[in-house]
Amino acid sequence: MDLKFLVGIFLAAILTENYILNKFLGICPFLGVSKKLNTAVGMSCAVTAVMVIATAVTWPVYTYVLVPNDLSYLQTIVFILIIAALVQLLEIILRKYMPPLYNALGIYLPLITTNCAVLGVTMLVLEKGAADPNFGYVASLVNAFGAGIGFLVAMVLFAGVRERLELCDIPKFLRGLPITLIAASLVAVSFLGFNGIVDRLTA
């Protein structure tokens, strides 16, 4: 497993397979937390951490516990259980050692528990692993980290867009969520432009 392969996975997770803008997972925090830049960054960092830790735990559980017992159909419920427990643990640790970050994240930390992007990452890396024997544990972790960074990129970009939207004279019927969704779709379309770039870069 060479470095080029991992860099390719990392970049692909950010640009071409962006979980928000390409797979449309994790739309609720994307719309809910992107109003301000600093909360967007805080939320994205928390999501990235949870994604990596969740993948680090769910991958061995799936490979060494569920698959040998022919129980891969339990994937969803077991993963949700593990992610929920991990987020709780993270919350306890943050409250103890990083109270400012804990206060800044507020309600969003528990919300990660039910974040589909986190569940999506843990499940999709297994799908990839099944399709490609090269795609092992390390590659899964890199993919999860890239997905988190991709989340961060999308959130930060969109926070900038929304801060500009605040100052615009928007037609009344589009104000609020409608114009936000339209702006989100335009950002997503712009990410389509990255298609193929990563394959060429690492080919």
Residues that bind other proteins (CB under 8 A): 61, 65-66, 69, 71, 74, 77-78, 81-82, 84-85, 88-89, 92-93, 95-97, 99
Q: Which two tokens stand for residue 163?
A: 């801060």
What is the crossing angle of helices 37-60 and 137-166, to 10°?
160
Given the complex with other proteins, which of 81 and 174 has the nearer CB atom?
Answer: 81
Q: Given CA atoms 183, 186, 188, 194 in this order, what sign does their dihedral have?
A: negative
Show Cβ contacts of residue 156 under 8 Å, excluding neighbours closer than 6 positions. 37, 40, 41, 44
Give me the least distance between CB of 111 and other proteins, in Å please: 18
Given the complex with other proteins, which of 59 and 191 has the nearer CB atom?
Answer: 59
Give me the least distance between CB of 79 and other proteins, in Å please: 10
Give me the least distance between CB of 95 and other proteins, in Å please: 5
Instruction: Say which residue the tokens 């712009």 belong to.
Output: 190
140 touches 55 (CB < 8 A): yes
Given the complex with other proteins, which of 92 and 138 has the nearer CB atom?
Answer: 92
Given the complex with other proteins, which of 73 and 173 has the nearer CB atom?
Answer: 73
Distances (CA, A) of 72 to 59, 63, 85, 167: 12, 9, 20, 50
Q: Which two tokens stand for residue 27?
A: 């739309």
123 touches 117 (CB < 8 A): no
DSSP state, residue 63: I
Give me the least distance between CB of 96 and other proteins, in Å please: 4
Given the complex with other proteins, which of 88 and 195 has the nearer CB atom?
Answer: 88
Give me the least distance between CB of 86 and other proteins, in Å please: 8
